[in-house]
Structure 1
């Protein structure tokens, strides 16, 4: 008899049962017979941290069945179970094949990328997945390996941001090498967050993120000296879908393409802190959530990350230094993999400027979410954000925050000085 523990009394789908976890262990451990003794459930993330999925942390106690002359040794293993319930509000996720893409990334792409590095690891170990009754994928628990999320509601300092950019440089570089060896991969990874499939076939995406843009426009229109910027943002809002799609689409003159993570904000990477003498200094980083990955300009990931996840003072003082950290790691990884033609730093700067609109999207669509106080974020979901009264109440509170206003003021003036608003 398998014991079930659920101390937090969380809601768990019925199919996450003994049979499911026996199959997960047998697949993940490459074992033919597992005897499961106990299943313990708890939340794998805080409510509101994940808009499109439910994350469970599951501790399993089990034994590998041996022959009759040997005793069975009890083991335990912590797994992360990610479920993606498809509702009317989240149906657009099926249009960009998030489940199939994430499974392929973990089972095929990441292992091939990691072979091309000097011992780097980009993601969790894949164990098991099912499509029915709900799209579900199982990984090893990165918390056991010492990883944890950065502090929720806080943008990143130099130590955290620069470490992410070093690892991103390696991910982008190895994906270029892989694409050269296997060009068909580029064709398979063509739809990301701002793809036509996401935007043109659904109103949900625009209702949610377009609502954040309207909230920004409302507050910007009250700032002296921002009248022109307010009009430019209104033009973005009036042409929301076409501007967003154009921000990610291939362009004439693109210098090079890489595999973008596609959703590079603070909930989608985890840090390890291995130096006991500097407990706040991250030493390792790993990516999670590859469901929106796509081959495209490296500046999509970079501008999205810089405009959504980095402290304002750091952007003001050391933005160029961050880009140089990324490029050095990118170039070093390409040299290690013996790629003949390495994009120049000038190529990277060209890409960054050509995709600044992608960064504007992150500025209004994700920066407010990332910096949102925990008491506001706990009720966040795509479904709740379709409720007009709920959304308006959230937006008014979010956009009244001074630190967010300061960040938007600086970033929008920077975009104006660069001529970004003339790009659409």
Structure 2
């Protein structure tokens, strides 16, 4: 019994050591009840849990070790912000105005350091070149010239060195961002083999750091446009797609090819993912599922409307038509600004053929959305959550506008690239 008690006590001590809390404090006039905590896997936010406000304070208990990027999302006011965890307590104080976050005050050491380092890095990249040019027009012995010289010296000397023992994630992030993605000569000389070796040998902070996707894009660019397939095969052969790291990288690459409209490569590696016989990770399974949802011939998943206008239908399936055009768009999207008016010009002709248009907006601002849809007579709906909208993952949406044409049974019969393709289809 004594040995069991000691073992139990040791396990309890480890559990307490591994656990940390995230505390968010907001002013009394911030009208929000719910907050959602996300972790990160590659470039994908993973929901951890949702908490309700207690006296405008949200407290999340994280039960295990986690070093990396995290995110808080307030779904009712559509506010979001990012921070880091180094497996220590995080305390954040928000300053708000009219239900919008104005400023974020980090009260824990790690986030305070990370915030200052990123601010200094941005100034170094954006302001330092301009100051160096301005300095040419002022003499060093003038008051303004001296001030310029001092500021240039300060920014030039900004250091990203961090005590790795005290702040392992910050040290990892800054060192590897500078080495592989920084705007410096050393980063430009990095080879594909060096990148492959890092991606293969790095610890789990690669997935939680937000560095993986930009590193993969940089890796593909290093190989050149004519060697994309060979570059990917070389990387995946080294990582092995049966491993969690290999599957995360495969998932990221499929999404990258989708974003950059590299259809042949996307189809090739999506097929490879579908044909895997090993255990599939949640990350890759999510990518496979969202792509299966929108394949030609697939039944377009139903969507329950939130507050649809120009219809009494309760869901996408309730809209009855011989054919439907579903368009994902946003009032802040410049391509939507030029394409949707062309759809509007032909709307009456399409409606006469019993073709209905359904617009699902990725807007955030209600006023902007409402003003825009006043001109659109078709079915319109929005969650007003931007890229946090539920249909982004469901329908594998990576850009706006994105179009789908459905038949009367809600099966996907076409995936037009542009509004011109939509109109040509119905000729």
User: TM-score higher than 0.5 here?
Assistant: no
TM-score, normalization: structure 1?
Answer: 0.23
- The structure richer in strand per residue is 2
Instruction: Please state which structure has a larger fraction of its residues in helix.
Output: 1
State the structure with bigger RCO (CA 8 A, min sep 6), 1 or 2: 1
TM-score normalised according to structure 2 size? 0.23
The structure having more radius of gyration, on CA atoms, is 2
